[in-house]
Structure 1
Amino acid sequence: MNEGEVVLTPEQIQTLYGYASRGDTYGGWRYLANLGDRYADNAAAIVGKDANLNGLNLWMKKGVENLWDDTVGKKTRLEKFDRVALQHFSQYVDLINENNGRLPNTSEIERSYYKAVTYHGVSSSAAIDLVINRSLPDMADGYWALGLGIEAERIHNEQAVNNPNGSESDNRKQLISALDKGFDGSFKEKHFTFLQSVIMDVTKLGVEYTIDGWQKIGGWGNGIINDLYKSVAKREWTGIFEIVNNNIKQFRDLFPNPEGWIDDGHQCFAPWVKETKKRNGKYHVYDPLALDLDGDGIETVAAKGFSGSLFDHNGNGIRTATGWVSADDGLLVRDLNGNGIIDNGAELFGDNTKLADGSFAKHGYAALAELDSNGDNIINAADAAFQSLRVWQDLNQDGISQTNELRTLEELGIQSLDLAYKDVNKNLGNGNTLAQQGSYTKTNGTTAKMGDLLLAADNLHSRFKDKVELTAEQAKAANLAGIGRLRDLREAAALSGDLANMLKAYSAAETKEAQLALLDNLIHKWAETDSNWGKKSPMRLSTDWTQTANEGIALTPSQVAQLKKNALVSLSDKAKATIDAARDRIAVLDAYTGQDSNTLYYMSEEDALNIVKVTNDTYDHLAKNIYQNLLFQTRLQPYLNQISFKMENDTFTLDFSGLVQAFNHVKETNPQKAFVDLAEMLAYGELRSWYEGRRLMADYVEEAKKAGKFEDYQKVLGQETVALLAKTSGTQADDILQNVGFGHNKNVSLYGNDGNDTLIGGAGNDYLEGGSGSDTYVFGKGFGQDTVYNYDYATGRKDIIRFTDGITADMLTFTREGNHLLIKAKDGSGQVTVQSYFQNDGSGAYRIDEIHFDNGKVLDVATVKKLVQQSTDGSDRLYAYQSGSTLNGGLGDDYLYGADGNDLLNGDAGNDSIYSGNGNDTLNGGEGNDALYGYNGNDALNGGEGNDHLNGEDGNDTLIGGAGNDYLEGSSGSDTYVFGEGFGQDTVYNYHVDKNSDTMHFKGFKAADVHFIRSGSDLVLSASEQDNVRISGFFYGENHRVDTFVFDDAAISNPDFAKYINAGNNLVQSMSVFGSNTAATGGNVDANIQSVQQPLLVTPSA
């Protein structure tokens, strides 16, 4: 089996046959879709009822109905469509069975549908799969299947049916006409509602692969012949798919998905849920009895939100996310109402099992014990209820029992269930615990594990089991998905007159201020639809600690002990008043999270007040999320309905001209409303292809500033909205992104993404990132402190910086800092930093290809590279290139940096810092107190005049201190220190760990001119009182020594000072005892070098 391939089990196939026998084709296709069959998504849409469909699915169904009506007639469709659909589904299941659980390929699907229509006497021209396949003969094989969502590995190139009715051209026309009619009926008059439904469909079904298929199909549409364009009322195939493909994506960006707010909601509820232990001291768990069916122990899975198991544990009609038993183990269950389904926790064995005395069981074993009719502590055939027991093995892990998942104990070879157990409290991982463990006996005499579980509960992710039938009017109401113990907003409103009235009033409110004034009431009214609202006792402050069977302890042992001792501090009156003020919000959050905050436990007053803080913070985040996610369904929806479509160059595009007019119309009577509405549409909708919107916003900002209203408008918007307006992103198209002037013109971020984008930072400190494509960055006067990030590795792109408002090159300076290019206005009004421009010497992915000016001048990369190497009279930073460069610092304290080539780096006047690269470089300090660093390579360092610091680093370097009191350090390599006349009082530090030989060269000096003197651990070579060299640490050991001393008349290599005996006050001591301060006696000198060395034996000065 291939990775990700869907292969059905025999039990799942039997479930499908059950759907077929009941004639439930829609249910069968949906069952397959939930198992991962992508084709089934579309098949379910085609056979579904209109009331159950929206958007894409409804469009597809209407298209199929139109195809039948156009080809075989409406009467035939009404009489035979359902019969054809049922036969196709039944044959599809047969194919799965014949393929040992594998899904049919495209050829098999085509053959099945052809067989179904022809069996019932219907023309094959009505077979949607065949028509699509025959409509696209000039496309690559399988594109039709990708369009229908079928996986690539299921695409088969065989043409299963050789002679479908109708010619190739007829098939094309019929298909496009059918989809066109369906599109008109669904979209033409209510495009916003239709597209909103489309996005809902895509999100719910997760069919992004279908969008991918449509992109491929849409690309083919350009080849359709002209007469086919005319035959479908000037709307060609590619136009249809571009609307569904590109414009839907734009609409998806435009407004938040009503389903998607839950993700934000869960995030905002996270602190509240996390603090359950401080608010309640406990957390809720579910408590069923489970059996190990495969002999590897009872295994569980984590609660996974909507992607995992949801089950109604407590019988309130709400399925919530839960930890669950893995697919290879099972839950002991009993179908009490005989409907063939395990409805809720009452039909499991656990703490939701009601006992005969009306109480609830403490745990699963206590629940099962009540069925022991003969009192032998074993449940077997001797007990009346034994035959009614089942094991639920949830094979697809959805929390919904299917017929094939419920097995009798006899089928599983289970003879008896032992009621004996022991408390184990074993952590199973994934938030689940094995509380009690026992065993059961099989018919073969072996035993296996049975245990009572504590399963993790996630009440945030919830789905009501029943659906509320909505009237046409109710279905138009704004909606948010349900959460916790709350239904979807419009369903809850259908059941609550108070909520319905509040939602209607909120939706009708025309300004942000008006909606915010109603928001708390709306949130509260939705919370009041919680079935537990008003039934709970007020939250109490208590130290009375109790724990029930379905609760885990979230406190530490010491905290529990403290509670049991009643050792809690008392709260101040102020703290109590603060908590009392938060009680209502706590009740509201309980409804949204499905929790119950009955008791507040606390270790200190600080703990108690922190709960209030978390409560208020969570509530504020909840209010913000609800406001933002209702915004485009309420106050801003009239604007959205002004967006239409137009055809340009045979392509459909969004037309925003009506939207601009709508905002300007509102501005005539209420400038603040227009300003706020437009700002929030741009901030939260992010309709990035609406370039005019940001330009319009910039105009509104300027007008508001002139009228003295800008600050007032910003206060209405709030800091978060203002911050969002300072950031905008582009699309895959060619976008124009502009700083609209919010946030006092600071911290604006523009992201171009794909396409050839134009980014206009405007005034302020902006961040501009073009993304891929040929992008243009525009800067006018007063552009501020801006940063350009232009990473784009694609070939053929051409990125440009354009200076406007009369800015010319001579008004700017071009400098380099590291790999960044800095373009500064000489008048100090702004700077553009192009990050990493010089990566790979300006040929890398970050470069700007050209810089343009209003006077027509263009600077290419080569010109910019020259400009940034020009010195000034000030402090410059100059950088070499990899091929080798000559840099002249000139006046000022400069920084010069070499690269990998052989560079000539001249500091000239000033106190300069010069850094070599990896080549064989020449560093000249010139005048001033300079610092020269050689790094890799065989470098020549010349300090020149001044007190200089020279460091050769790696390589065989030559260090020339020059005039002044210099510090020279050769580091590794065979280094040469050169001293000439008037070299001053220098220090050499020659520590190295390698075995290389270092040399000290005195140019213009004879050996007799230089005296060797020991000063502590240093060796001093003195030519005069003004000129001497101190070799630091020379007598510490061989790692500090200079090996050869070169003079004009002699060279001394590795002199053995140990042979010289200090006579009287002579200072040179025995070299064999480096560092010894004890003077040797005697006066013998090595005869071989006496003539050279004798002058070196001098009497030290006092």
Structure 2
Amino acid sequence: MSYQLNQNQKDYIDYLMSSGDYHLAYRYIAEQIDGAVQTGQVSRETQRWFEWAEHINGDYDTLINNYAREMAKLGSLINGSILTDQQFQAGSDVIAQSVLSSVLNSGEVPTTPKDIILIDIATGSQEMGTDPEDFPGTMIGYILFDTPTLDALILNDPESATWEKGLNIGEQVAKHVGVLSKQGVFIGGEGLVDLLAGERKMADLFDAAREIWENNGVQDILGEISEDAAGLYEQLSDDYGWAWNNPTAVIRELPPWLQDLLGVFDDLIAAASPLVLDIDGDGIELAALNGTGSVYWDIDLDDLGEASGWIAGGDGLLAIDLNADGKINDHSELFGDQTGSSNGFAALAAYDSNSDTAITSADAQFDDLLVWIDANGDGRSESAELHTLDDLSITSISLNYSSVNYTINGNEIKQESTFVINGQTRDVVDAWFTYDETNTVYAGDYQLDIQTLFLPSLRGFGSLPDLHIAMSQDATLLSMVKEVAAADVETMLSLAFDIKGKIEDILFRWAGVDDIDPAGRGGYIDARKMEFIEEILGREWVAGGQTNPQAGQADDLDAAFSAALAHVFGHILAQTSAATLFTGGAGYDIASASLTNTDVDDFIVTDAFSSTVSGSSGNEIFFYTPSEGAKTISDAGGVDTIVIADGIGAEDVRLWKSGSDLYLYMDGHSASVKIQYHFQSAYDNEVETLTFSDGTSLDLLENLTFTGTSAGGEYVLGLNNSDDTLIGMGGNDTLRGYTGNDTYVWNIGDGNDAIEDQDGTADVLEFGPGITADDVRFWKSGSDLMVYVGSESIKIDNHFHATYSNSIETATFTDDTVIDLLSNLTFTGTSAGEYVLGLHDSNDTLVGKEGNDTLRGYTGNDIYVWNIGDGVDTVDDSGGTADVLAFGPNITVDDVRFWKSGYDLMAYVGSESIKVKNHFHATYGQEVETATFEDSTTLDLLNNLTLTGTSAGEYVKGSEANDTLVGLGGNDTLQGYGGDDVLIGGDGVDSLYGGTGADTFLFEAISAFNDVDRIKDFSLTDGDMIDVADLLASYDPLTDAIEDFVWAVNAGSNTELYIDQDGAGTIEAWTKIATIEGVTGLTDEAALVSSGHLIAA
């Protein structure tokens, strides 16, 4: 029963096809048949086929798409061509056209995907140049593990699949989809067998796949395909290398780190003998250890093939197939000293049944003897390479050998004799092959655990098989590695996880030394460490006949273990989520036992025993465990990284510069790292990067944060040409940022710090939490800027120096307030009397606070703030055109009395005062232009200023501007000088001098009748005026005659001025208010009013 498409559905599928959106057509069909899947009308397998087809044709970055594309490439490679991504996409489009056309033509979606799969296989294999059995579509559509977890792994972004999911399902999935990387993503770009690395058999995978498929009842679909695939990959194994348990390629040089370990052992050369026959008659030919023709061969019968010298040039090994398995397995089936005999001839003598000192057909086992001519030189016997003595017409082998001493390509010849072949006598020798007990591969049989394909592996050496082989044979070891592989970076580097301890335990378990008593090799070394070294090198440590090291020897062995741990540590991490710690990520090449895809040359792990860790000129990662205490890193070049474990984050690390050394302090963990000569550019000793447990990193070359302690008295130093951050912490510290745009951080409780900056155009003084701009008081002391917060302070040394460039440009606060520290600053004094200084060419604000202060703003338009209680202050300005005297709260213009004292302007508020020095000096330019009040009143201090005396007699002087002079009480002298002034004598007999300008002599009713003032310089010519309007409340200029109210009488050379307030005109009503000295002829009062010289109303 199929799903019938309606016309609208068919039209939409046709539209998507015509648009070339085949993957969307696949998705549409999968969505439309969802209900039919729920009812069983269409199988889930059919829907899954369309879902996966969408991913493949749409080239999604998912496991199923990557698998399909890489398997197709491998299939084309097998068939003699190279399939490109473009060709695959074109073929996928043709498949889509065929499948979708079939659906449209039939008008239905079939219940099962069998017919669709056949179209897929037929079209795809033709378009992509592969045989049908090699085309991945055969397996894609019919993997019948119908679980949501499997769908999530294959369809979703593989990164979202957890390790747990990958490991649980991977055992099934990997049997069809090949090798998965550590994140569950198919590894592309290389042959599958290459990707297996090590000694993994693809045939084993497909054998397991057949079993899975058969158990799920789909062998009719996949059985034949899997059989063909198994055979195919069995054939391929020879071509791709490292796919069989006995690879042909010998590592000719051990990794440097492994060679270093050998330095703690005696340099002994191992050798073992087999009998070698000169079959071709051109003399014995042997291959040198690690040279061309060297092979891996199990010499000491431990299931491990040692790199060894070997036969060459068509010569043969005398052998016997003891277990009748059709091949020569190891050295026990050759004739040499490893059989328990002193040499090969002695071993062969056991087969001389008639004791005639020759091996002939007369001996009982003559027919069992074989000659192995390793034609392809791979160290693996094949049936075509094994010959009986009769096959080669060998009739006798003489046991009468001679002792000799010569070498062939490093292989010693100690015994030689002859044999007869085709009637000719030739040499047979006991060749002592030189072999390497450390350079080994596993040669035994094992069942590969598919989970190991998901896990880190390590190349085995010495007595150790590759880690994936060991894990396949040891469930405990497997679970230990799984635990490491399953952790994310942050977990892995946490204190609780103890990654170093876990990897150390993995090494012990891998070497089979985990149950050994740590004290079992004396009291100077952990026996597990020592025996791990012995296992990985394949040899025992002996010195002077002793197997337990003394103190100095133990130190060397400890260092050897630490070196081994470091390299293995890095190699494991590179195959986990911690690969991100490596520059550009990393991988591991099991063949060469080295890191790949990274610039990292070495991985160094600190230990609890060494206080100094030395690097090389290469690119290194130093893995530091803070619980091991303080360390000194002495590097010698390269691009290096320190990785800090134990859960240490950036917030836990404090950087400190001392001379040319960089210190990393973990104050809460009693740990530190000193990077020696880090800042000494000539030595190239720097470490470039610090990586924390959460995977974040810090550049250690520039833009660093250097932090002091609470001790105080410290110099916190920055770098030249670097934008650093310096934090003094508690105590009185000096912060020196040198050149660069530096940030100086200050918090409440940091004490009295000094900043010594040297350059930069964007240096910042950064205030921490709980500090606002209102809490900060600035002060200029010489060329220094003082910043006060409560009882604490920051001194910016030479901030105002014209040539030193030591200034800090900006102050910032946590509420985002920013203050420019180069201009427009507010400088504030204290309750004591002091000089509050501003800046040249800067619009500053100066606040004296309590005490008798001098405020000196210098040039610029400065603001001088004065509040009630600020005492007797002096403003000593030096220039500017818009200086301001700003009065604070609760002061109005009526509260202020201005007074001119010499060139100074005095402003009195109650018993306090402000003196504006030289305010009235014509040339000094020290005037303050304006006074302001909180009620927004503004007072011009240059013009129309009211200068007021007191109740005592005094000299009230004006300026050259238009002033108002008020005498108040006492016998005062008021002198207006220049300008159009107003003079008010007040009480007392006052002398009024208007000076130049059109001055006004103003009389007030409250005081005019008490005394007679003297007007000293009244001048009609200057336009002077006498204002008596306040005295004439009853005068109406429209109806009254001025003569009835004002009477000017000549008195000698003077004029006397009388007032009649009510205008009655009686003699008794007139009151003399002033004498106008030196002037007569003012008796026409009406004329004075009309000319404006007398103001009466």
TM-score for the superposition, normalised by structure 1: 0.35
TM-score for the superposition, normalised by structure 2: 0.36
Bigger Cα Rg = 2
Higher strand proportion, which one? 2
Higher relative contact order (CA 8 A, sep 6+): 1
